[in-house]
Structure 1
Amino acid sequence: MNPKKMKPETNLKHYQEAAAGWESAEIAAVKRSEKRAWRVAISAAVLAGLAVLAVVLLTPLKTVEPFVVQVDKIGAANTVTLLDTRSITANEALDKYWLGQYVNYREEYLNQTSYGNYRATRLLSSQAVGSAYFQQANPENPRSPSAVYGTKGTVEISVTSITFISKNQAQVRFVRREKRNSDQQPVETRWIATIAYQYLNPPLKEAERLINPVGFQVTDYRLDPETVTVGGGN
């Protein structure tokens, strides 16, 4: 047989084989592309799921804090919040506690507890403040609480707000209800105590540490009236 007559058939077979090889290569490439697409789609889905989970976990950290602005009779505003919905530092809470305690010890009066309040006030005061307080509370002073109120009179204290005006200085607003005897209607007045304070080493004596365990000390105390009298006695 003449080889020249078989050449077209050989070429056709060659083209068919080449075409089949190209088709197989294209199919393989398509499959690889599909695998990559699925990997990308799965990765995107996982990332989206993680993003949603992160938002869900962070949602409780974003809160709306309700508060009430309380205005008293003379127009003084005081923000009222709940301790469990407010971020408050331990130092601020401790300062407010001792400032409130000090004002109560110093300003309230009841014959049965007067000595205990006097002793606590001295332990929470610096030497200068304590000496001035001693002169004020000395029974020989005709204007001392024991001389004015005796065994029947009382002075009740209600702290209404504590505001920090600088480092280690605060203003304590309180209501004072005074009765000269048990039958008298209380006379109500409002006051502002401006207090400077510090923390020193706690007292060495165990009995004194039970009253002042943190070494709180008032270094300056000024008392000013905030309002006029709103009640009267008989």
Structure 2
Amino acid sequence: MWELPLRRLSRRALRDEFAPNAPGPGASAAGEGARYYQEGGTWEEDRTLWKNSSLSIAWIIAAVMTVIALGAIVSLVSLAPLKTFEPYMIVVDKSSGFVEVKRPMAEGALSQDEAVTMFNVVRYVKARETYDPKALKDNFDLAQLLSTGDAARDLTDIFSPANPKNPIKLLGATMEVAVSVKSVTFPNQRTALVRFGTDEKSASNIIHRDWVALVRFRYSGSPMSNQMRFDNPLGFQTTEYRRDQETVPTAAGADK
């Protein structure tokens, strides 16, 4: 009763197992497994390649940042000798309120040229503004030597006999005017601002005045005599001179 179905099942199983071109369930499972492992291997290779490339990029970035950091350190070390401390002193004038910053003269051709020009400017202002009856001619001749153009004409007009404000007429032979220069600044290469004070001395009192003078100058290579070269070897010439009073005059006793 049960033999025929069993026999039929056995023949079908044998036919499926021994059929040469008919893939069975085992072959299908094997193909799926092979494809799964193949895809898994490809994914692992991709992950490995991505990891290696990421490490390479990270090392490149680290190397670049290291080079930049070393360059910054070298730059800072090279700039260290340039760091200097320059002491200076601030002086406030009690009468005019002018603030002056005093610094030491720096080395170099420019500062030396500026010092020479400052010397010539101060020399000119003192020769022009000082009034000493005993040295009147010497001061006038020096100021005239260092002047040209409008500055020379103005100086001649001041000491002209026709001028009622001629210092000789106003001050006479007994009074004196002493000059003290406070500061010299250069707004540009051909202009100087000079702040100075004058003390007008008489037998009874001293009158102090504060001034600011605008001095325009140049250096001339025009021929001049040896005597003029002795007093003005560089050919310094003031082309324009103007002074303005800064404060109200103050008077004090002659004994102070």
Q: TM-score, normalised by structure 1?
A: 0.68
What is the SS of the residue equivalent to 2:231? coil
Match of 2:212 in 1: 192
- CA gap 1:71/1:141 in 2 versus in 1, 3 angstroms: same
How many angstroms does 1:116 deviate by?
A: 0.6
Asked if 1:150 corresponds to 2:172, the answer is: yes
Asked if 1:206 corresponds to 2:226, the answer is: yes
1:40-69 C-alpha deviation (Å, 9 max, x unpaired):
xxxxxxxxxxx9xx99xx86x653211111
Aligned length: 177
- CA gap 1:204/1:85 in 2 versus in 1, 3 angstroms: closer
How many angstroms does 1:75 deviate by?
A: 2.0
Q: Radius of gyration: which is bigger?
A: 2
2:156 to 114, 134, 138: 134
Match of 1:217 in 2: 237
How many angstroms does 1:203 deviate by?
A: 4.8
Asked if 1:107 corresponds to 2:129, the answer is: yes
Match of 1:72 in 2: 93
What is the SS of the residue equivalent to 1:89? helix
Please give the alpha-carbon distance, in whole angstroms, between the structure 2 residues aligned to 1:227 and 1:87: 37
- CA gap 1:87/1:124 in 2 versus in 1, 3 angstroms: closer
After superposition, residues 1-234 of structure 1 pair within 5 angstroms as 62-73=83-94, 74-83=96-105, 89-179=111-201, 181=202, 183-201=203-221, 203-232=223-252
How many angstroms does 1:230 deviate by?
A: 2.1
1:67-124 C-alpha deviation (Å, 9 max, x unpaired):
1111112321001123378996122111111110010000001011110110111111
What is the SS of the residue equivalent to 1:228? coil
1:133-184 C-alpha deviation (Å, 9 max, x unpaired):
11102244332122222221100000000011223011100011012x3x22
Q: Bigger CA drift: 139-148 or 112-121?
A: 139-148
Please give the alpha-carbon distance, in whole angstroms, between the structure 2 residues aligned to 1:112 and 1:140: 22
Q: Bigger CA drift: 126-135 or 168-177?
A: 126-135
Displaced runs of 4+ in structure 1, greater than 4 A?
Answer: 84-88
Given that 2:105 and 2:111 are in contact with CA atoms closer than 8 Å, whether structure 1 keeps it comes out as no
Q: Bigger CA drift: 191-200 or 161-170?
A: 161-170
- CA gap 1:167/1:198 in 2 versus in 1, 3 angstroms: same
Please give the alpha-carbon distance, in whole angstroms, between the structure 1 residues aligned to 2:182 and 2:97: 14
Identity of aligned residues (%): 31
Given that 2:149 and 2:240 are in contact with CA atoms closer than 8 Å, whether structure 1 keeps it comes out as no
Q: TM-score, normalised by structure 2?
A: 0.63
